[in-house]
Chains A and B, each alone.
Chain A
């Protein structure tokens, strides 16, 4: 596992300490060390970083303008070539450029909505778990009820009613329908640490409820939530693509991976490259996200094992 004894200097000569000085740094640094030794997680991280970097730098690195229709007659549905590595779509727009810009939307929507979902879910679940009793029961029955509604149906219904959804709206929509699972997870974790002795000890030393919840309990929730959120990013990328594909997500002419995929479907038989590269961007990204999530889970799970 690549652990090294690095702090022998401070413990040398104290018999009580001999057994203890293995892991060295704190739990977070130990987790990072485990993560960088996980090859598939590192591969996933590198792929994600590349995709994110290209998306962020799209205005600088994209060969064309994503909205410009270069020559709607002569240049439409061009197969991949040196000038257009991923070909052009039926409006003669450059697919590579549109995927670069589309990545900005797809990744931003996924990241922001998961951030929102994780925050709401953590707060809600933490409050329910910490309060316990009747408050917990009521709060969690609400979540049960919300979970009983199929998410995609709910999304389609809201997106249909909410004509011409802005990206902000999409983020809110995906975020506010994505926190139920997180709240359940957090509630369980909070209940687990609420009754632990270190919480009683903190209370015995004079800490108040807020301090106990924020300082002592929430740090124990962070890593499982991080894993769940990472998996959530992959999930939301797919949902957003699906919504957009159905015409209820990102509105044309703006590009997202889902909309590029949709654009290519009309002429898939003759010009496969439009949908193919959009689909490839989705698959590669989601795969990378899941590799990272798996790596995180491994790295963080071992966190609290005593290092001796």
Chain B
């Protein structure tokens, strides 16, 4: 990577100590985010995406804990070593977060203008008046018409798309270096989704903000991200530039995700699903955590926890197939004979991934 990283997460482990056992929700995740870059984090529910995001801002609540040995370095500061006041100065100011559900992330009893102005008043010694003016200005920036009137309205008076714009305004009002967007479009209509993604991309170009985009939707990744982290079972299972990921997915889980995605312009008998569900984080399988759902799994996968193998430049994968690629070819040949949905179409997924 040529960009000097803005954020470096290394060996992040966030465990939850519940009565059902220790849930290793995030278990040794490492990645970097460069200045002005958009990193996508993709995976099913329960893979540890959101916990990773909350860990960066140290928003993990009891009984969760970020384990010692984890490191989160942002703008040269170790966030895990900051005191309470220190991390509060980072939150909303240098790193902001956009939440999934814009209705519940806004406080229903305050006007949206008040809620944006509050962020200003928390971080800058601005007067009430100046903070309010800044809030109205931000509503203009995020493309809300009649911002001065809108600022005086309550969340329930705005549509879903408008509310998400308000959340974006709250996130960007202090001009942070990094925005973490946790499924920002999942709760929205598709037409509004496209508008919101466009807005985020546009603001990123204008303000030079880095974005971590968390989603389960590969279509969103294809739209905005330059680099992708695929998470499974609290781990990174594949990391690649977005083109490489769509063109040559390596990890069977990534392959499965791509097959499960409906594609415009391609007639498919039916979508392939990944069998089974994510195992509970209190009991990850030994060896490879995906092996129970993996079409290629063989005995080595149960014995040996795969490391992140280097596949290509900036492309890593946590799968033993990296050392035994012939197994994939053999499997494809045999499943083609069985008349099952061939997996080999994955190579063409990239160009028509946009939904």
Which chain A residues have a beta carbon within 8 Å of chain B's beta carbons?
7, 10-11, 13-14, 16-17, 19-23, 26-27, 132-133, 195-198, 200-208, 211, 215-216, 219-220, 304, 306-308
Contact = CB atoms under 8 A, between A and B. Distances in A.
Given A10-B146, A17-B158, A26-B154, A201 B122 contact: no
Interface string B156-189: 1111011000010011000000000000000000
Contacts of A13: 145
Contact of B104 (A11, A197, A207): A197
A22 B110 CA distance: 17
Nearest to B158: A20
A10 B161 CA distance: 17
A20 B103 CA distance: 13
A17 B88 CA distance: 34
Residue among A22, A201, A219 with the most chain B CB within 10 A? A201
Interface in B260-288: none
Interface stretch (B11-19, B24-32, B91-99, B210-218): B91-99
B119 A206 contact: yes
Contact of A198 (B59, B88, B106): B106
The list of the 10 closest CB pairs from A to B, nearest first, reads: A205-B92, A10-B149, A206-B92, A206-B91, A197-B104, A204-B97, A201-B105, A306-B156, A198-B107, A16-B159
A235 to B, nearest CB: 28
Contacts of B243: none
Given A7-B149, A27-B109, 18 more contacts: A10-B146, A13-B145, A16-B159, A16-B161, A16-B162, A19-B159, A20-B162, A26-B111, A198-B105, A198-B106, A198-B107, A200-B59, A201-B167, A203-B91, A204-B59, A204-B99, A306-B156, A307-B157
A196 B104 contact: yes
A20 to B, nearest CB: 5
A10 B170 CA distance: 22
B123 A206 contact: yes
A17 B91 contact: no
23 contacts: A11-B146, A16-B192, A19-B159, A20-B156, A20-B157, A132-B62, A133-B62, A196-B104, A197-B105, A198-B104, A198-B107, A201-B97, A201-B170, A204-B96, A205-B91, A205-B96, A205-B171, A206-B123, A207-B88, A207-B92, A215-B118, A216-B107, A220-B109
A207 B159 contact: no
Interface string B99-125: 101001111111100000011001100
A201 B84 CA distance: 16
Given A7-B149, A17-B162, A219-B109, A205 B122 contact: yes
Contacts of A200: 54, 59, 99, 105
Contacts of B162: 16-17, 20
